Chain A
Amino acid sequence: MEKSGFSKIDPGVRAVISGFTDKQKADHLIADRILVLQDAPLSNTMKKYAPSTPTPTPEK
């Protein structure tokens, strides 16, 4: 487990977000915690929505 920031989040990966629904915008979720599951495989449905080539996270 590694703490990180917004810049290191790449599209195309699975994530679990906990937060609160925005009262003004129903489709917006104000994130409290984001858990990025870097190596977790995507389901077939999720693969449809994922960008074709996810940008790899630069290793330290």
Chain B
Amino acid sequence: MSIALLAAPTIFAATPTPSPTDAGELQTIEKIKDMVASKVAQLNLVEKKGFLGQVTDVTNTQVKIKDTEGENKTIDIDELTAFNGDSSSDNFGISDVNKGDTLSFVGLYNKDTEHLLARFVSKAPALPVIFEGVISEKDAKNYTLTVINEKGEKKIIDIETSTKTTFIQRKMEWKNLDFQKLIRE
């Protein structure tokens, strides 16, 4: 009988989670809760984003640009912002930024203030242009097209060897199904 008692395993009762009773402990928990909530809110408010545009105004801590869609954007500069100039300018910085410069910015965009805190600033050679219209003329000798848009603005399109041309045809889908052939027959 005594041997059986000795061989029985020792069982400990599970320790219950202590409930915070102390007022100081409760206050600390509330503080941590607030910190977590504010951090979550901050993470939702800030996102990584990039802008490309022409400088309209510049100060030591802020740059205002007009982007490709004609919208005004504000970019904040701080001591951690890195500047990358072109090959001709090694020490490119905020003091070298002038009105009319074309720059690209990558950083943290605050949805609330609608400001971008720039992490990287680079000189961009030119802004891309998107032009839509009807092809009115084709110059096969000079490899140019004349395109006129909805507003009547005319642009001469220079075709380079690097230019990529793509055709979009609704018929192509039918072609695959031999629908054209079916109609003809």
Cα-based distance from A26 to B84 in the complex (angstroms): 28
Q: Size range of the interface on A?
A: 35 or more
Question: Please, how many residues of chain B have a CB less than 8 angstroms from a CB on the other chain?
Answer: 42
SS class of chain A's interface: helix, strand, loop or mixed?
mixed
Contact (Cβ within 8 A) A29 B155: yes
| CB of B82 closer than 8 Å to a CB of A | no
Q: Are the CB atoms of A18 and B143 closer together than 8 Å? A: no
A34 CB contacts on chain B under 8 angstroms: 145, 157, 159, 163-166
Contact for A20 among B128, B143, B165, B166, CB less than 8 A: B128
CB atoms of A19 and B169 under 8 A apart: no
Binary CB contact string for chain B from 106 to 145 against chain A (1 if under 8 A, 0 otherwise)? 0000000000000000000111111111111110100101
Assess A14 versus B133: contact at CB under 8 Å? Given A1-B166, A22-B158, A28-B155: yes
Decide: A33 and B166 in contact? CB cutoff 8 A.
yes
The 4 closest A-B pairs by CB, nearest first: A46-B134, A49-B148, A39-B170, A38-B169
**Interface of A with B (CB < 8 Å)?**
1-23, 25, 27-40, 42-43, 45-47, 49-51, 57, 59
